[in-house]
Amino acid sequence: MSIDLTPLTDLGSAQYLGFAGGLYPNGKNSLPSAYEEAGVALGATVQPLDRDGRPSASGKIAMISIGMSNTSQQFSEFIRLAEADARKNPSLVMIDAALNGAAATDIAVPFGEYWTYVDRQLQRREISAAQVQVAWLKTALARDPHGFPENARLLQRALRSIVEILSTKFPQLKLVYVSSRTYGGYSQSDLSPEPIAYESAFGVKWFIEERINNPSPDRSIPWVSWGPYLWVDGLTPRSDGLIWERSDFELDGVHTSQQGALKIAMMLLEFFQKDTAANLWFFSLTI
């Protein structure tokens, strides 16, 4: 099944309804060098911390997921893969703090129920807020009728609020990686139909461009960039060969099946292998 749209990574400087593609400014899929260097510098400061946030050889580097049910499915599978990889930094603790039914507008409420859930997930793993240094953020709007570009702008604002909340709750947070929706062409509901799933990536793109153009001078707000970009036009291969099959999704066409979740988990693992701001802390230097 195809809806005849071009992934942002292949769209480049061409436009969708008047807006340029690419993951980053000027239709590019790579970070501006100065912004990437800032991320690498911050990534180099990620280190094991004790519960009070002080450097400790016996401390932990906590990485959390923030988002909805799909995020939880996919990050849980990623944790399984990463834990089986002998190269993973033994100090790295990955915690799934995504919650079923949590839309971007729910997560953007500072003292809402979502953040109580996040606190519980950390407590279960005996991790303090001061040890959280990395987050994977994958969220979306639910049943919003405004159309494009209004929906994408609303998601952009929600992402801004969520990262502000993250920086307040987790004082040692350094890096936030953001992904948008997977393919919605198989959806059997109004939760994630096309072209809404496709258009949500523009909200992520614009939010990250906003951060690139207005970096935090004192690094009080974490560095933000794309995580893996997940959208593909169904069975029409992306330039890297990725496709989304019907079997990659559950019966509702919205939630990824175990096969689909594994596909994204593998993309995440490959992403952290290659990301210049991540590979210093994700993998053990002794391997």
Residue 40 within any structural domain of the chain: yes
pTM over 0.85: yes
Residue 287 within any structural domain of the chain: no
For residue range 240-257, what is the model confidence (pLDDT) as tens digits? 999 999 999 999 999 999
Residue 2 within any structural domain of the chain: no
Rg (CA), the chain: 18
Instruction: Give the residue numbers spanning the domain of 169.
Output: 9-282
Residue 1 within any structural domain of the chain: no
Print pLDDT tens along the chain (287 aa). 789 999 999 999 999 999 999 999 999 999 999 999 999 999 999 999 999 999 999 999 999 999 999 999 999 999 999 999 999 999 999 999 999 999 999 999 999 999 999 999 999 999 999 999 999 999 999 876 789 999 999 999 999 999 999 999 999 999 999 999 999 999 998 777 899 999 999 999 999 999 999 876 665 679 999 999 999 999 999 999 999 999 999 999 999 999 999 999 999 999 999 999 998 899 985 43
- What letter would DSSP give residue 88? B
Q: Measured between alpha carbons, how far is 34 from 145 in angstroms, rounded to an integer?
A: 38
Residue 178 within any structural domain of the chain: yes
Tell me whether residue 242 is exposed, middle or buried, using C-beta atoms within 10 angstroms of its C-beta: 0 to 12, 13 to 18, 19 or more.
middle
Residue 255 within any structural domain of the chain: yes
- Please name which of 123, 83, 115 lies closest in space to residue 98, comparing C-alpha atoms: 115
Give the pLDDT score at 143: 74
Residue 134 within any structural domain of the chain: yes
Angle separating helix axes 150-169 and 113-124, nearest 10 degrees: 50
Residue 76 within any structural domain of the chain: yes
| Residue 130, domain CATH | 3.40.50.1110
* Total number of domains constituting the chain: 1
For residue range 79-126, what is the model confidence (pLDDT) as tens digits? 999 999 999 999 999 999 999 999 999 999 999 999 999 999 999 999
